[in-house]
Chains A and B, each alone.
Chain A
């Protein structure tokens, strides 16, 4: 096992308060990509 994710980064990844805001951000970002639509290419 090689540590590749620092303890600080690990803390941010698992902190429920920080991650709550990240959850809102990710939900909106995914929604934008999905609702952003789709179409043809020809």
Chain B
């Protein structure tokens, strides 16, 4: 009998838990530890943030589902890692602290295999004054943040209807923030909602981002097929922004937020401010600051973490020109403890994807690499498949591999909500991490599989994915037929 403990119940943790439970016999134990009582489909938070979807439509409670499926659920947060056990406990374990009903209680949870799918910490503290709901700045990173954001936007719309002009700023709230895609979706959705409310002319909308160019998205931009043309993602986004009257400020590392004022440093080393009435800025992501100890209680955090969890990547520091797809992990296994894995956003990337840039003052202003829902799901499934094969004795080695340098991703970005008036920017990328050796003439990506499209169909597709992935997450009949 094996016991697999999964930390986190987001896209990655839930995918791993559901596949493990489906394919392993009941004698094997699957345990999920998460402080959240609900599963949430994060990509739809954009629509919660414009009031077109209720938070309840994007989430469902985990406890009843896990009970029905035979997955043990502990609503708790992990505090420390003990991969060698300790003086009292022979088996490796993590210590957890319960929240909600059993708040404050702690427990040692032993495991045979550990999947760390804790995702990122939303590091609002890294930027002074960025805390959502303060200083007129909001976030769409969780459904509650998005709902809060909508309430503020609704008030701004009411003011516009009374003839008061509003300045809206959307983008990234830190020099090294990632997830520009979410901010991109939100700015286009907000713009469309203002048109729907017939107040578009009362608002000035500005994109404020740490990207060097529009359409970088933390992926170094893309060269993509667009109809019969080949164009840069920068050109595509510029076309959309100009067409919608959205201004942009690039290479901006936001340092501080004051009431209605964003302070930032740009790549020219200038310190500037951007005023706003309503802002949505994505924070930087960081690891959770977990600690790890060996059997004797000695701190071995460095063996498990480098901010995020260490996996089978090449972490040797090297310049951008020497970055290779081979640096990226394939199995998400910790190099020191072979029974620990970290798929999704929980693993430490070997380096960025976008070319690193510094301001004239030496400040790093570069988007961090994004790891969206699709790679999170794919990497979680391959970790689960490797464990299933190992437990069943099919393969002794890790047979399933999935590097972001050999994996495609679809980013269906909503550009406005509505069955007949909606729009979407559909971008697919293959591979996620550019392979300049394999595709030297197309900026490291395979044209045809890296393409862009704009239109109503994109909105329908995003909506279809919303329902399909919630169906899959609820583990309804034949859920496993829907790919990650």
Complex CA–CA separation, A41 to B401 (angstroms): 9
Beta-carbon contact of B245 and A34 below 8 Å? no
Beta-carbon contact of B423 and A14 below 8 Å? yes
Complex CA–CA separation, A19 to B428 (angstroms): 18
Tally of A-B residue pairs with Cβ under 8 A? 101
Beta-carbon contact of B245 and A41 below 8 Å? no
Choice from A12, A34, A41 contacting B325 with Cβ under 8 Å: A41
Q: How far is the CB of A26 from chain B (nearest CB, A)?
A: 5
- Known interface pairs A5-B239, A23-B460, A30-B410; A38-B403 also in contact (CB < 8 Å): yes
- Known interface pairs A33-B410, A33-B428; A2-B242 also in contact (CB < 8 Å): yes
Beta-carbon contact of A16 and B455 below 8 Å? no
Beta-carbon contact of B456 and A19 below 8 Å? yes
- Select from chain B the residue with minimum beta-carbon distance to A23: B457
**A1-42 to B contact mask, C-beta < 8 Å, 1/0:** 111110000001111100110110111011101111011111
Interface: B407 (CB within 8 A) = yes
Beta-carbon contact of B456 and A13 below 8 Å? yes
For this complex, into which size category does the number of interface residues on chain B fall? 35 or more
CB-CB < 8 A to A15: which residues of B?
456
Choice from A4, A13, A30, A41 contacting B428 with Cβ under 8 Å: A30
Give chain A's interface secondary structure class: helix
Complex CA–CA separation, A32 to B421 (angstroms): 28
- Known interface pairs A1-B244, A2-B243, A13-B423; A40-B410 also in contact (CB < 8 Å): no
CB-CB < 8 A to B406: which residues of A?
38-41
Q: How far is the CB of B421 from chain A (nearest CB, A)?
A: 8
Choice from B238, B239, B330, B455 contacting A22 with Cβ under 8 Å: B455
- Select from chain A the residue with minimum beta-carbon distance to B246: A1
- Known interface pairs A13-B423, A19-B455, A22-B457; A35-B242 also in contact (CB < 8 Å): no
Beta-carbon contact of B457 and A41 below 8 Å? no
- Known interface pairs A12-B455, A13-B454; A39-B403 also in contact (CB < 8 Å): yes
Residue in B238, B326, B410, B455 with the greatest tally of chain A CB atoms within 10 Å: B455
Complex CA–CA separation, A11 to B403 (angstroms): 40
From residue 287 to 305 of chain B, which have CB atoms closer than 8 A to chain A? none
CB-CB < 8 A to B239: which residues of A?
4-5
- Known interface pairs A22-B453, A38-B407; A30-B461 also in contact (CB < 8 Å): yes
CB-CB < 8 A to A33: which residues of B?
408-410, 428, 430, 449
Choice from A16, A25, A35, A40 contacting B401 with Cβ under 8 Å: A40
* 9 A/B residue pairs, CB under 8 Å, sorted by A: A3-B243, A5-B239, A13-B455, A19-B457, A23-B460, A30-B461, A33-B430, A38-B382, A39-B403
Known: A2-B242, A4-B240, A39-B403. 15 other contacts (CB 8 A): A4-B239, A12-B455, A16-B456, A19-B455, A19-B456, A26-B457, A30-B410, A33-B409, A33-B449, A39-B401, A39-B406, A40-B401, A40-B402, A41-B330, A42-B403
Please list the residues of chain B having a beta carbon within 8 angstroms of any beta carbon in chain A. Answer: 238-240, 242-245, 325-326, 328, 330, 374, 378, 382, 401-403, 405-410, 412, 420-421, 423, 426, 428, 430, 435, 449, 451, 453-458, 460-461, 464, 483-484
Please list the residues of chain A having a beta carbon within 8 angstroms of any beta carbon in chain B. Answer: 1-5, 12-16, 19-20, 22-23, 25-27, 29-31, 33-36, 38-42
